[in-house]
Amino acid sequence: MKKLFALLVFAGLLLTLNQSLSAQEESVAGKLFYTELGGPGVIMSANWDARFKSNERLGFGYRIGAGFGIGQFYNYYSVDYYEQVTRTYYSIPVGLNYVFGKPNIASTFEVGAGATFLTRKVSLYNYDIDKPGHVIGFVSFMYRVTPVNSGLSFRVGFTPIIGTAGDLFPMVAISLGYAF
C-alpha cells in the first residue's frame, strides 16, 4: 500500500512538473529591459520595451528610458561675453515601435519613432540654444535577436536623430538586454 501511495505521489509530481513546463513554453517574451549605447539616449541609456498586447512579442509597442549625454553649454555674463563649458545632461527617450517577424523565430526587425526629452538646453545636433524647450526627435530601424520565451536579447541598428532645427543626424545604436 505504501509503495502504491508513493508511486501515485511521484506520478502526480511528474504530471504537475510537465504541466508547468508546458505552460512556461507557451509564455512569450513580450517585455524587454536593455542598456543601449548611442541611439535616442544620446550616449547611454537604460530602457524598458513592451508590446501593447500582453503575451505578444510582435506588433505595436512602446519604449521608455533614462540616459545621459555630454554637451556644450553657454554661460552668458553679458551681451558680449560668454563662456562655453562641457557638462553632463540627462535624457528621457520615449517612443512607439512596431516589431516585424515570425512568431517562433528569434530574429525580428523594429521600426519606431519618438522624442527624447533633455534636462538642459544643449548645443547638440544643431540644437538652437535660443529656442525654448529641451526636445529632440528620433526614428529607429533596429535588427533584434530576442528569444521566443525569455533570455538574453541583442539589438543593433540605425537611429537618426532629428535636431530642433529640423536637421537629420545619423546615429547608430547597439543594445544588450534581457527579454521576459
CB contact at 8 A, 98 and 60? yes
List, in sequence order, every residue forming a beta bridge with 123; answer none if it has no partner: 72
Across residues 118-136, what is the average pLDDT?
Answer: 65
Q: What is the pTM of this model?
A: 0.75
For the chain, domain boundaries = 30-179
More confident residue, 80 or 55: 55
Write the pLDDT tens digit of every residue in 78-111: 667 777 777 788 899 999 999 999 988 999 999 9
Could you tell me the CA-to-CA distances from 171 to 53, 138, 176 in Å, in that order?
30, 10, 17
pLDDT at 21: 45
Which residues lie closer than 8 Å to 108 by C-beta, 6 or more apart? 57, 58, 99, 100, 101, 143, 144, 145, 146
Task: Report the CATH fold assignment for 30-179.
Answer: Porin (2.40.160)
